[in-house]
Amino acid sequence: MKVFAITNQKGGVGKTTTAVNLAASLAARRQRVLLVDLDPQGNATTGSGVDKSRVARSVYHVLIGQSAVAQAAQPSPTGQYDVLPANRELAGAEVELVDLPQREFQLRKGLEACSANYDFVLIDCPPALNMLTVNGLVAATKVLIPMQCEYYALEGLSDLVQTIKRVRHHLNPQLEIEGLLRTMFDPRNQLAQQVAAQLEHHFGAKLYRTVVPRNVRLAEAPSHGKAAMHYDAHSRGAMAYQELADELLQRLLQQPAAAT
């Protein structure tokens, strides 16, 4: 089971869009996928076609030790993958986790119990460095960072890299950056081209070749509770995430077994 934390401390960079669309694209390639929604807004839940207001058990119950992942996860009605859903209850988990022993390891413990059920776990982290995000980073072995190529992106990225280093040093020595994904990319924008060049210079092979363009269909799909490939499979956004799934699988095949 490969566990990816999809994270960026900056909001609005396409984190949830990446989580939902990558989950659907991997599932279409016969991978067994669990999408974990760690954001109290529950956007990955609704974007997967699950009604968050009707969820009886959620990631909140897993974090506070009241439910196993297998009991709380449910199939996405639109995407051929499972969802560990979230809703507003999750906002209270921060306070309740404070008193729990090994509070940073709650999600990891929950996922370890169902490791035989999935090939991939994708964790959609909230856009903040809080106890929920730390749980996501401790549970994962790999970090996927979606980012826009804009002025403030590199500054935020350096903060995130430092956070990942701290988590690796203190809590999870296996954690590593798997890759950076350029999202909402407009090739006509000169600044976007300059930032992309800087990313390539600093991160080299860590930068995915796949680039996700700005795309109306990609923006519309969540309101229908679907990944883009199930809303408009021929849209540029849907095709980009299918390319990302292929690139990701190819990368993992090339890595030695100990690194996966």
pLDDT, tens digit, 9 for 90 and up, residues 15-57: 999 999 999 999 999 999 999 999 999 999 999 999 999 999 9
Number of domains in the chain: 1
Average pLDDT over residues 178-188: 90
Residue 156 parent element (H or E): helix 153-170
Contact present, 125 and 16 (Cβ < 8 Å): no
Name the pTM for this structure: 0.94
Q: Is residue 253 pLDDT above 70, yes or no?
A: yes
Please report the pLDDT score of residue 257 as a whole number: 57
Distance of CA 44 to the CA centre of its chain: 9
Name the phi and psi angles at 119, rounded to 5. Answer: -90, -35
How do residues 199-240 score in pLDDT, each as one tens digit?
888 889 999 999 999 999 999 999 999 999 999 999 999 999
pLDDT of 108 reads: 97
For residue 95, the domain's CATH number is 3.40.50.300
Alpha helices in 98-152 (DSSP H): 106-112, 131-139
Cα→Cα distances 100→78, 97, 170, Å = 36, 5, 18
pLDDT > 70 fraction of the chain, expressed in percent and rounded: 98
Residues 3-12 have a mean pLDDT of 91
Residue 259 has what pLDDT?
41
Domain range for 254 is: 2-259
Q: Evaluate if residue 86 carries a pLDDT over 70.
A: yes
Spell out the residues 6+ positions from residue 149 whose beta carbon is closer than 8 angstroms to its own: 182, 185, 189, 191, 192, 193, 195, 196, 199
CB atoms within 10 A of CB 183: 24
